[in-house]
Amino acid sequence: MVGISVFAIILVSCGFKITDLFLFIAIISAGVAFYICKLLPIALLRSIFCSILNLFFRVKVDGLANLRKAGSKTLIIANHVSLLDGILIAAYLPRKITFAIDGTWGAKWYVKMFSGIVDFYPLNPTNPLSVRSLIDVVNQGKTVMIFPEGRISVTGSLMKVYEGAGVVAEKSGAKIIPLRIDGAQYSKFSYIGNLIKTQMFPKIKLSVLPACELNVAQNVSNRERRRLISLQLHDIMANMIYDTTEKKQPLFNLILNAERIHGSKHKIAQDVTGITLTYSQFILKTYILGEAYLCAFNNDKNIGILLPNSLAAAVSFFALHCAEKLPVMLNFSLGTKQFSSCLHTVNIKNIITSRRFIEQGQLHHLIDCAENCGCKIIYLEDFSQKIGVINKIKGIYRYLQRKGIKSNSNEAAVILFTSGSEGLPKAVLLSHRNIQAIVLQIHLAVPFHSRDVILNALPMFHSFGLTVGTILPLLYGVKTYFYPSPLHYRIIPEVAYNLQATAVLGTDTFLYGYGRMANPYDFFSVRFAVVGGEKLKERTAELWMQKFGVRILEGYGTTETSPVISVNTPMFYQSGSVGRFLPRIDYRLEKVIGVEDGGKLLIKADNVMMGYIKPEKPDLLQTVGVWYDTGDIVKIDENGFIHIKGRAKRFAKIGGEMVSLTAIEQVLDELYPDAKQGIISVSDDKKGEKIIFVTDAENADIDDIQKYFRMNGLSELWIPKEVLYVKNPPLLGSGKFDYINAEIQYKQSK
């Protein structure tokens, strides 16, 4: 005992931390114990190991019945998050496991310590014969364990998946058992201590999932077969992590959990004011502001937020959650007619905004519109001065307790708006579960981590800007810089340079603008440039690759899907596509007349919205049923990449915003009631698409149209850019306007 004490004192004097000392002593003690126990029966050894692991890590195991159901000829695959993974699997699975590991690892003394309860099979990736021999091991009825990633994760998310495990399973006919290890990544035995705040003894959970099999076509080359096997293994692993991650917590509680993982002093958010907030500062502000909002809004549930990208907007969003109110993100680019419709649709009585923002954005017309609708305007500059001592004390008390909220994950977490075919915005309700699903799905696809810095200039009333640009980084410890406008093409590249931003979000229009104005070194630190909201043009992709050496990752989705369905990733990328489906998105294609290669896309997933609230029925939540109809015609290739062929619904995407062509036609029918006319959209280098008014009205004039739209409080985005006069507009046999031939006539006129 005295010797151990003297040894401990010597180590501490040499600079060892107390926690490292305990860890060192634990490893030595465990090593001695393992050598002693090599002579004991396997069942007793497992019992001893389980008792020790339970004592320190409170290990929980789910799904062991799935292992029994799979039979004896099985191959286990697991994510690899720490040095504890092997002993956890060996101790808690009720079989003797044969671990297929690299020969260099098998020779290490601390690996040999476990030879009493497991068998080791040295696997040499460069020797095909070793894989063939492993197939024989499986055929003998032994349960084999392989880590498909081949190494312990250094990112905290899935890494490259090797096809070896799949080849063994396919050749032997074994069933694949996915096994999720969760919690060990937070221990001192993981390799991501530089990304998160590790713990001495975190809780660990093992989840054994039902058996599955690979499905690879027989008529492909060996190289293609191995590639497809790797792809399917990756999907199995991603689905495994998605399925075993809890999605039942309200978003506010997840912020508290993120603080525990990354540390209270971890810097998480910054804006143009120069203020940077840590997790503890951010959470304290939400508690105090939440208490103030709770008093100010009484029984009102839906609270409007009319703010630019800023710390104030992010804090207000979560403060409303803390007060168990429902944030309604208001689009300040709308005309007064659409804006007032939004307020009536979801019964907004209070709007949080900023006096400075209204003045700088010249948005007084929206404030007048809101007041005419009976809304109370809360200016944060004034409101912050009136927060009382009682509110502050209550907020600090809740902060010290880190008290969460009791909202159901299936309740609405936010209301956003999108344009409907009838021309007025529809409210889209996203639940806590919808948003948790999408941030998890994206995190499994794109490996963001806590050392990344996201530059987000997309407004929070846009679902991409809210869920991907705001909520995802806050929940995963990624520092976010909120910039108030995406239109500052000269300034944003300079901001990215000064921040050393590693991720940039935007639409094609915005990224092209940044690329043209930026110095070639402005985006030197960027790892991910993600584009959504409109199609990525070849010119933009080439500009970023040639000027900055950055490959833009194009994604696809809708507001109703929170908002992502698919995305190209660093691991799975195909030019001209919008990427592969995110994990656990089921789809089917509905036949469309005239489309031979593809169909209309319908999906089913956790990230699909709760439903719509439409202006004509403001008291009714209208769900979409089992399958959500995207309205897009797509082709899906053999590798799962989605190619957009066209839109079944008549919308145009202008600068990333959806504009209803049908709604514009209805307005123009009022202005020129006796004309035969229609609206088409064509590609545009500046805004993605532009609207063309095709008519036989000889007096049709752009200036008159602009005046009429503005007089009716309609958005500037709705105004046609050109008028094409046609003496005999093309009509279908039914008398309806022929849009296809109208577009042909327009192109011929150019």
Per DSSP, 113 falls in state: G
Q: What is the spatial distance between Cα 159 and Cα 153, in angstroms, rounded to a whole number? A: 7
pLDDT digits (tens, 9 = 90+) for 363-410: 999 999 999 999 999 999 999 999 999 999 999 999 999 989 988 999
Q: What is the spatial distance between Cα 393 and Cα 211, in angstroms, rounded to a whole number? A: 53
What is the CA 55 to chain-centroid distance, rounded?
36
Q: What is the spatial distance between Cα 220 and Cα 201, in angstroms, rounded to a whole number? A: 48
Tell me the pLDDT band of 534, cut-offs 50, 70 and 90: confident
> Within 13 A of 315's CA, how many CA atoms are on the CB side?
29
pLDDT at 219: 84
505, two tokens: 């979000």
Please check the confidence at residue 686 and state whether its pLDDT lies above 50.
Answer: yes
In CATH, the architecture of 38-243 is 3-Layer(aba) Sandwich (3.40)
Burial class (CB in 10 A: 0-12, 13-18, 19+), 748: exposed
| Beta partners for residue 613, in sequence order | 427
Please check the confidence at residue 19 and state whether its pLDDT lies above 90.
Answer: no
Tell me the pLDDT band of 420, cut-offs 50, 70 and 90: very low
pLDDT digits (tens, 9 = 90+) for 111-158: 666 666 677 787 765 566 667 888 888 898 889 999 999 889 998 889
Strands 60-62 and 205-208: parallel
CATH 1.10.20.10 for the 251-646 domain, yes or no: no
Classify residue 723 as left (phi > 0), alpha (psi -120 to 50) or beta. Answer: beta
Residue listed under structure tokens 């519109």 = 369
Please check the confidence at residue 2 and state whether its pLDDT lies above 50.
Answer: no
Q: What is the spatial distance between Cα 108 and Cα 122, in angstroms, rounded to a whole number? A: 12
Please check the confidence at residue 735 and state whether its pLDDT lies above 60.
Answer: no
pLDDT at 3: 47
| 3 state SS of 698 | coil
Q: Are 547 and 518 a contacting pair, CB within 8 Å? A: yes
Tell me the pLDDT band of 739, cut-offs 50, 70 and 90: confident
pLDDT digits (tens, 9 = 90+) for 45-55: 788 889 999 99
Tell me the mean pLDDT in the region 92-113. 72
Residues 6 or more apart in contact with residue 480 via CB below 8 angstroms = 268, 269, 270, 453, 454, 456, 469, 470, 473, 474
Strands 611-614 and 642-647: unpaired
Strands (E) in 591-708, as ranges, are 599-604, 611-614, 617-622, 628-636, 642-647, 651-654, 657-660, 677-684, 688-695
Percentage of the chain with pLDDT > 70?
Answer: 89
Q: Which residue has the higher pLDDT, 592 or 703?
A: 703
pLDDT at 35: 56
Selection from 514, 500, 495 nearest residue 552 by Cα: 514
Examine domains 38-243 and 651-749 and report if their fold is the same.
Answer: no
| 3 state SS of 391 | helix
| 3 state SS of 342 | helix
Residues 6 or more apart in contact with residue 734 via CB below 8 angstroms = none
| Beta partners for residue 181, in sequence order | 206
DSSP string, 597-630: S-EEEEEE-TTS-SEEEETTEEEEEE---SSEEE
pLDDT at 126: 56
Residue type, 674: D
pLDDT digits (tens, 9 = 90+) for 247-305: 999 999 999 999 999 999 999 999 999 999 999 999 999 999 999 999 999 889 999 99
> Which long-range contacts does 541-546 make (Cβ < 8 Å, 24+ apart)?
541/575, 543/512, 543/515, 543/516, 544/511, 544/515
Q: Are 615 and 424 a contacting pair, CB within 8 Å? A: yes
pLDDT at 370: 97
Residue type, 92: Y
Please check the confidence at residue 71 and state whether its pLDDT lies above 80.
Answer: yes
pLDDT at 684: 85
Return the number of other C-beta atoms located less than 10 Å from residue 404's C-beta: 16
Q: Are 694 and 726 a contacting pair, CB within 8 Å? A: yes
| 3 state SS of 284 | helix
Tell me the pLDDT band of 421, cut-offs 50, 70 and 90: very low
pLDDT at 733: 46
Please check the confidence at residue 736 and state whether its pLDDT lies above 80.
Answer: no
Please check the confidence at residue 44 and state whether its pLDDT lies above 90.
Answer: no
pLDDT at 580: 98
Q: Which residue has the higher pLDDT, 743 or 304?
A: 304
pLDDT at 558: 92
Tell me the pLDDT band of 645, cut-offs 50, 70 and 90: confident
Residues 6 or more apart in contact with residue 126 via CB below 8 angstroms = none
Q: What is the spatial distance between Cα 216 and Cα 211, in angstroms, rounded to a whole number? A: 17
pLDDT at 407: 87
Residues 6 or more apart in contact with residue 347 via CB below 8 angstroms = 302, 618
Cα–Cα–Cα angle for 513, 463, 499, nearest 5°?
50
Q: Are 329 and 480 a contacting pair, CB within 8 Å? A: no
Tell me the mean pLDDT in the region 186-201. 93
Residue listed under structure tokens 């004490």 = 5
Please check the confidence at residue 587 and state whether its pLDDT lies above 70.
Answer: yes
Please check the confidence at residue 1 and state whether its pLDDT lies above 50.
Answer: no
Asked if 321 is an active-site residue, the reply is no
Residue listed under structure tokens 């497809």 = 228
pLDDT at 734: 45
Instruction: Report in angstroms the alpha-carbon separations of 669 from 280, 553, 681, 701.
Output: 56, 40, 17, 14
What's the mean per-residue pLDDT of the chain? 89
Its pTM stands at: 0.86
Q: What is the spatial distance between Cα 621 and Cα 604, in angstroms, rounded to a whole number? A: 19
Q: Are 214 and 176 a contacting pair, CB within 8 Å? A: yes
Instruction: Report in angstroms the alpha-carbon separations of 445 from 190, 235, 569.
Output: 21, 10, 6
Q: What is the spatial distance between Cα 334 and Cα 340, in angstroms, rounded to a whole number? A: 9
pLDDT at 157: 87
Residue ranges covered by each domain of the chain: 1-37, 38-243, 251-646, 651-749
Please check the confidence at residue 741 and state whether its pLDDT lies above 60.
Answer: yes
Per DSSP, 334 falls in state: S
Q: Which of 4-36 are b and which e, b meaning 16 or more Cβ less than 10 Å from the residue's Cβ?
A: eeeebeebeeeeeeeeeeebeeeeeeeeeebee
Indicate the fold that domain 651-749 takes in CATH. GMP Synthetase; Chain A, domain 3 (3.30.300)
Backbone angles phi, psi at 324, to 5 degrees: 60, 40
User: In the β-sheet with 267-271, what is the strand arrangement from edge to edge?
Assistant: 276-278, 267-271, 479-482, 453-456, 503-506, 528-531, 552-556, 566-567, 580-581
pLDDT at 640: 94
